[in-house]
Structure 1
Amino acid sequence: MLVPMTPPLDPERCYRAVASRDARFDGWFFTAVATTGIYCRPSCPARTPLARNVTFFSTAAAAQGAGYRACRRCRPDAVPGSPEWDVRADVVARAMRLIADGEVERCGVPGLAARLGYSERQLHRLLVGELGVGPLALARAQRAQTARLLIETTDLPMADVAFAAGFASIRQFNDTVREVFAATPTQLRRARVVATGGTPGWLTLRLAARAPYDAAEVLLFLGAHAVPGLEEWDGTTFSRVLDLPHGPAVVQLSPAPDGAAAVTARLRPAELRDLGVAVSRCRRMLDLDADPAAVDDTLGADPTLAALVAGAPGRRVPASPDAAELAVRAVLGQQVSVAGARTLTARLLTAGTPLAEPVGTLTHAFPRPAALAEADLTAVGLTGGRRRTVHALAAALADGSVCLDAGADREQAARELLAVPGIGPWTKALVALRGLADPDVWLPGDLALRRSLAALGSSDADASTRWRPWRSYAVMHLWALAVPTLFTRRLPPLPERSAS
């Protein structure tokens, strides 16, 4: 069932958030001030404008389309993205996820519309009707944001910045930057907030999250599942190879050094034009755009989970940068330990694209479905039935009969996965949880969840109807109770009834 379109922004509620400089609403909406011609994040430290002078927009693109430029003080383009696009399942949300993943740059608006099953005119009407702007304006706003990020955090030549951000020409780049930020690219670089050096070929970026955010815990969870050759974990930094449209990239992720709700990312893309896609996939992998206040308010109100939520506020759901990869890894992990799944997955990597040169222990990108469908899996160590499932899944992903990209219809993807021989409800749910980053997934029959629920005096039947729409986050809290070695935060004592 499709999630209904979000109602229009409530001006009174938005203004109260602006008046109180409430950072929880950063990224949810933007405040445009008629008397200054700028738009800000709700928590902007500047003097609160008069209510009669402000207009609220749900996206930065809409504010830019109305002729406003970004505030230089609060940098509204640097806030976490709206969690709405991860929560919702309708076509507008799917379009937003695809635009963030670079679909317009790769295939244009016709390709975006075709991927969603709509005509260009229908898609434009839907986006304008809800957001005030069409797909080109949304993609343009994303290019501007990527450009500013590169201008202010790297020493790349401006021509490289322009093409890395997705602009078709230097002139288009210059015009857009001047229009959106009321400054030339050179002026933005002179006023840069962060100057980063580093190794040639690497870009150092700061990826913001909504507080509270425990980056060390998210990275520990990812590191505990690290596959040799594809991923690496040294206790602080999680590194991995990303399979991007124009070649493999390496990313190294570590907690922000100042302890802020952010992650430091060092990226080495094969081509600079993949940078925007790489950032989008890292944000999804780290669950940076979640709304922890909404999640904790809902889950914390349930007596079963209250103590767990209080002990780990803002807990996130670490995901995969590639849902197709996660689906294959989920099949390999059926009925084996985490260590066993890592070993089996590492044996597949020779079918993937090798790096031009290793980076530490990293050597390959994960195999693409077409390569995996043709690969000889006899030496991997799988049973005959599991080999057939991997081949069938890879073939279905390659020919499009199973679609797991950023714009996938989650309900349709679930049906398509269940049609693959050897994939059942648990595997399908895990792909939704950690592949498609669906915030409302329950894992039926998961043994770790059952142990935690039994200790808390609850059951699968209770969980299937409670904790919506944040069941994925409930899963993480319950996993932390059952497998504490995958998490950093100490859990509160179990209720006395768990000892019986």
Structure 2
Amino acid sequence: MLDVEVCKKARLSRDPRFDGKFFIAVKTTGIYCRTTCPVHPPKEENVQYFVSALSAAQAGFRPCLRCRPDSAPGSAPWKGVGATLDRAIALIDQGALQDGTLPQLACRLGVSDRYVRKLFNQYLGVSPKKYALYQQCLFAKKLLHQTRLPITEVALASGFDSIRRFNDCFKSQLQFTPTQMRQQQKKANSNIVLELYYRPPFNWQHMQQFLAKRLIEGLEWTTPQSYGRTFQWHGSQGKFTAVHSPEKHCFNVEIDIDELKSLKPVVNNIRRILDLDADLLQIENDLTRALPNEFKLVPGLRLPGIWSLFEAGIRAILGQQVSVQAAKNLVAQLVHTLGQPKDTGYYFPTPEATADSDLEFLKMPNARRQTLRRFAEYCCLADSAEQPDEWLDIKGIGPWTVAYAKMRGQSDPDIFLASDLGVIKALKTQRKFLETQLSPWRSYLTFQLWSQL
């Protein structure tokens, strides 16, 4: 938790760099707000600070309808300090407790469900289920604010199976009903268009150029202001286009999806591949302290993600020991040959489609084709395909392939591609440094080095 004096100065300055790092509750109104809320600031004696929106809600405060604290970018500090808690939060945000139980979640984490409950109570002050329900309600609030979806469809998209359960949870968590929330709405979009906020700085030009250089026609599309692609998610299909709005520090994301129940995890995955939850100021400060003085960071560099771990693995294998352009051509051949066609393009090939093909259409060594098939077969059969470190048992997959897939398919922030030819080339112009001292932000260092090529 930040110092009270720091919180006071930050709220009075409305500095967007503090947005999401803490929340302001006003005792006289019973409302909690973001640090950037445009209302006249209340007196300090009427203010209480909370490390998260969830803790403010649990203390009995309801969210401000003007600044919408549910839209604040996520802040790593309040998510806890342990890797297990971070991963549990990520899985819950992806719908793990909507589709499964707490013991199943604990099994995926490799711990007991009792330990998971202990972590949530210790660091967040609530149970895992309460955390999940609150996130569902905040997502429903976003849909009620920003779309014209009927309330029944909002409930489904937020992960609720019953309207009655949805109404009860929404009222208990946010202290007003979905109907009252919809009546407060001034303007809504006819399609699903959501504002996904981030904390500046954000070097969108660099990310857009990185994505454009690796773009697969029919699967992805981009302009200087936007990026979009088709996607598949646990049986659902769709596409999205994210348009950068730098003046609002957000992306306006239009989503077309055939199964609304998958909307929330899809939105969370879009946030991941655009790296919207990173605190770049903290990351860059940590890197600056550990790097030589002459190493000049490019401000606002983020990690451009890949939609799925399987797709990241495929792209990594096809990118072994070849140029970016050559790898892009191979991925395009794979997508256009094996990808499921749609009206305006393609979906990325499934593991089954890749494993069933002889891949003779790919102009590359046969050993590489066999590696690709073995990887696809592994992903068809093994639940542990979500654990990239275990891919090393597959012939033809080495540490670089695994590290690249983790960095872009899981958005792991602590990957240093020491054996990458681009990194090696960039390091020739730099003074030596201990990359271990740059943990846990070595993925950002990798992109900083690539940016110097």
1:360-395 deviation per Cα after TM superposition (whole angstroms, max 9, x unaligned): xx222x233344333332222332221222222223
2 CA distance for matches of 1:34 and 1:276? 32
Q: How well do the aligned residues superpose, as a CA RMSD in angstroms?
A: 2.8
AA aligned opposite 1:332: L
- Are positions 1:397 and 2:352 aligned together? no
Aligned counterpart, 1:64: 57
2 CA distance for matches of 1:211 and 1:73? 21
AA aligned opposite 2:234: P
AA aligned opposite 1:284: R
Partner secondary structure for residue 347 of structure 1: helix
Aligned counterpart, 1:494: none
- CA shift, 1:323, in A, is 1.8
Partner secondary structure for residue 253 of structure 1: strand
2 CA distance for matches of 1:186 and 1:214? 39
Q: Do the aligned partners of residues 95 and 329 (structure 1) sit closer, same or farther apart at CA in structure 2, a change above 3 Å counting?
A: same
- CA shift, 1:95, in A, is 0.4
AA aligned opposite 1:267: I
Aligned counterpart, 1:340: 326
Structure 1 range deviating more: 79-88 or 233-242: 79-88
Uncovered stretches (5+) of structure 1, i.e. residues with no partner: 1-7, 405-412, 483-500
Q: Do the aligned partners of residues 132 and 91 (structure 1) sit closer, same or farther apart at CA in structure 2, a change above 3 Å counting?
A: same
Residues 3-402 of structure 1: matches in 2 within 5 Å? 14=7, 17-18=10-11, 20-46=13-39, 47-48=41-42, 50=44, 54-57=48-51, 59-84=52-77, 90-192=83-185, 194-197=187-190, 202-256=191-245, 259-301=247-289, 304=292, 308-309=296-297, 312-349=298-335, 354=340, 357-359=342-344, 362-364=345-347, 366-400=348-382, 402=384
Q: State whether residues 246 and 270 of structure 1, in contact with CA within 8 Å, keep that contact through their aligned partners in structure 2.
A: no
- CA shift, 1:398, in A, is 3.1
- CA shift, 1:22, in A, is 4.1
- CA shift, 1:240, in A, is 0.9
Match 2:446 to one of 475, 478, 481: 475
1 CA distance for matches of 2:235 and 2:270? 17
2 CA distance for matches of 1:32 and 1:41? 9
Identity %: 36
1:67-96 deviation per Cα after TM superposition (whole angstroms, max 9, x unaligned): 321122321100111235999662111100
Q: State whether residues 241 and 254 of structure 2, in contact with CA within 8 Å, keep that contact through their aligned partners in structure 1.
A: yes
Q: Do the aligned partners of residues 217 and 438 (structure 1) sit closer, same or farther apart at CA in structure 2, a change above 3 Å counting?
A: same
2 CA distance for matches of 1:383 and 1:88? 45
1 CA distance for matches of 2:321 and 2:187? 47
Length-normalised TM-score, structure 2: 0.90
1:315-372 deviation per Cα after TM superposition (whole angstroms, max 9, x unaligned): 21111121221012101111122222122222333686635x423xx222x2333443
- Are positions 1:430 and 2:424 aligned together? no
Length-normalised TM-score, structure 1: 0.82
Structure 1 range deviating more: 187-196 or 147-156: 187-196
- CA shift, 1:126, in A, is 2.0
- CA shift, 1:471, in A, is 1.8
